[in-house]
Amino acid sequence: MNELLRNWDIFRLIRLLSGAGFAIYGIYSGDQFLTTLGLLLAFMAVINRSCCCSAGGCGTRQKTKPIYKDMVKTYDPNK
């Protein structure tokens, strides 16, 4: 639960507010599609998932040590 409430950025907040707006307007107008869309956007904001992760837009943390970090040397063009 504590992980869900961390790392709020502006896009996550916009997704939550737009989802809440769509859901409220969908309930008000009786439109099930808008209600479902709003609930989906709000749920995606709470669990911090989006559709653009395949384009490298997700902020992921690496909890494991890189495998070849001690074997790969940085390239120095002056040598």
Give the tens place of pLDDT for each residue, 9-61.
Answer: 888 889 899 999 999 999 999 999 999 999 999 998 888 776 665 445 555 55
Count of C-beta atoms within a 10 Å radius of residue 64: 5
Indicate whether 5 belongs to any domain. Answer: no
DSSP string for residues in 5-40: TS---HHHHHHHHHHHHHHHHHHHHT-HHHHHHHHH
Question: Between 4 and 40, where is the model more confident?
Answer: 40
Indicate whether 39 belongs to any domain. Answer: yes
Where in the sequence is the domain holding 40, given as residue range(s)?
10-52
Number of structural domains the chain divides into: 1
Indicate whether 18 belongs to any domain. Answer: yes
Indicate whether 44 belongs to any domain. Answer: yes
pTM over 0.75: no
Cα–Cα distance for residue pair 59/6, rounded to 1 Å = 12
Indicate whether 33 belongs to any domain. Answer: yes
Indicate whether 26 belongs to any domain. Answer: yes
Cα–Cα distance for residue pair 35/13, rounded to 1 Å = 18
Output the pLDDT for position 6.
Answer: 73
